[in-house]
Structure 1
């Protein structure tokens, strides 16, 4: 467990896996990307649940972020199922929560949604996301453009949302790009923590697999672009945590 000695508010980054070795050597691991993008005014603790670490009770945190993972939610590994139960408790206690990619899927699973392999295969690269009307008053999404670029890489998706979820965003490939449960728990399939350089590194590492799957590597690389609006969600989430702590 990696600790930061800063003062409150306390935020748990729930680490659900690790990136490719080459990418890790160049850019650091998942948690580093989140820490760089979240506010420096947060007291961040990284809890590696995939490695067997256990976070404090949800109510002991002022905010929670759940990372992506090479694991699959549908495998229902014991650490993942335990984390899903923990997330459900966090939502019940109204702790601000943001699940990203695997975290997005795990949050949906925790509330009865269906997670599995996307019927059309993998989505990867810089893609356009459409913000829906239901997000017009949402604390995280309301100020985003109606369409914005985002970095994506995933093979599993939320195939069916939980009954109480509010759908906030979609893309041409992925109908469930973002949703909210309750007042302050969000799941996003896209990666706000990715930079354009990290996304490009993923395309390089995945290139043999993408070629086998019939995807056009040259086109995917040509479409790479910054995604500042999507990345800004992490600062928006930070601001929300800071404001709720004040209140």
Structure 2
């Protein structure tokens, strides 16, 4: 069923499903976002889920209060039809200055939609809880400037934004990925890390990726030991709500 067109609606664009055991224990990707956002929504605001791979129609972006794009086990470079269909929609949203926050797949999709390049990282997968550092531009940014210069975040990705779109601003980076966070317009951001993840979800993902990480030469036990709470990264979600017109 198409979403209702309503300016008091914050849409969570679901771009895939988590592992079955993660869903059973912690909830799917959209549920993780709902858990963080629901209690902090502005008065009169509501959350709606748009299942992008299954939804045949998209609401007019200008009728929405804001857009959050989830992660996915899909790959942006595969250019699946449902994913490609989101690109012009996101371009319209950017033109209309609709607040957007893309996460992981959403980060890579936004960068690709706006003229950048997203593909497999030449150094392989990044997984676990890792430090992220703001750039000078990030420290001055209206959203990211609320975070400390260095903070920890949960990460799990094989693809990255390899080339940022022309005009996009790099707000955060780390040793693995130059483009941990990007800004495309006054209220449009994306992040490679997962602010919606809990430590338990991060550990579950490391369990699923053990073999692949070992083949990459990673110390999986050390990655498990380094998993910790990421309150600063998580607060990014509720800070984002301040940029939505209620």
TM-score, with length taken from structure 1: 0.93
Using the TM superposition, give the Cα deviation of residue 181 of structure 1 relative to its aligned residue in structure 2, in angstroms.
0.4
Match of 2:175 in 1: 172
Match of 1:24 in 2: 23
Residues 3/93 of structure 1: CA separation in 2 closer, same or farther (3 Å cut): closer
Q: Confirm whether residue 109 of structure 1 aligns to residue 112 of structure 2.
A: yes
Match of 2:158 in 1: 155
Query: What per-residue deviation string (whole Å, max 9, x for no partner) do you get for residues 149-172 of structure 1?
Result: 000000000000001101100011
Which sits farther off after the overlay, 136-145 or 169-178?
136-145
SS of 1:152's equivalent in the other structure is strand
Tell me the distance in 1 between the aligned counterparts of 2:186 and 2:128.
30
Using the TM superposition, give the Cα deviation of residue 136 of structure 1 relative to its aligned residue in structure 2, in angstroms.
2.6
Number of residues paired by the alignment? 241
Tell me the distance in 2 between the aligned counterparts of 1:8 and 1:88.
18
Q: 1:27–1:198: 8 Å Cα contact kept in structure 2?
A: yes
Match of 2:89 in 1: 86
Using the TM superposition, give the Cα deviation of residue 53 of structure 1 relative to its aligned residue in structure 2, in angstroms.
4.1
SS of 2:74's equivalent in the other structure is coil
Q: Structure 2: where are the runs of 5+ without partners?
A: none
Tell me the distance in 1 between the aligned counterparts of 2:2 and 2:30.
10
Tell me the distance in 2 between the aligned counterparts of 1:210 and 1:87.
33
Match of 1:9 in 2: 8
* Aligned Cα root-mean-square deviation (Å): 1.6
Which sits farther off after the overlay, 189-198 or 136-145?
136-145
Residues 2/26 of structure 1: CA separation in 2 closer, same or farther (3 Å cut): farther
TM-score, with length taken from structure 2: 0.94
Alignment partner of 2:212 out of 206, 209, 212:
209
Tell me the distance in 2 between the aligned counterparts of 1:217 and 1:2.
43
Tell me the distance in 1 between the aligned counterparts of 2:237 and 2:224.
25
Tell me the distance in 2 between the aligned counterparts of 1:26 and 1:125.
19
Query: What per-residue deviation string (whole Å, max 9, x for no partner) do you get for residues 187-209 of structure 1?
Result: 10000000111101111122122
Alignment partner of 1:185 out of 188, 194, 217:
188
SS of 2:53's equivalent in the other structure is helix
Q: Structure 1: where are the runs of 5+ without partners?
A: none
Which sits farther off after the overlay, 171-180 or 54-63?
54-63
Tell me the distance in 2 between the aligned counterparts of 1:115 and 1:165.
14
Match of 2:121 in 1: 118
Tell me the distance in 1 between the aligned counterparts of 2:118 and 2:35.
29
Tell me the distance in 2 between the aligned counterparts of 1:73 and 1:226.
28
Tell me the distance in 2 between the aligned counterparts of 1:47 and 1:54.
10
SS of 1:153's equivalent in the other structure is strand
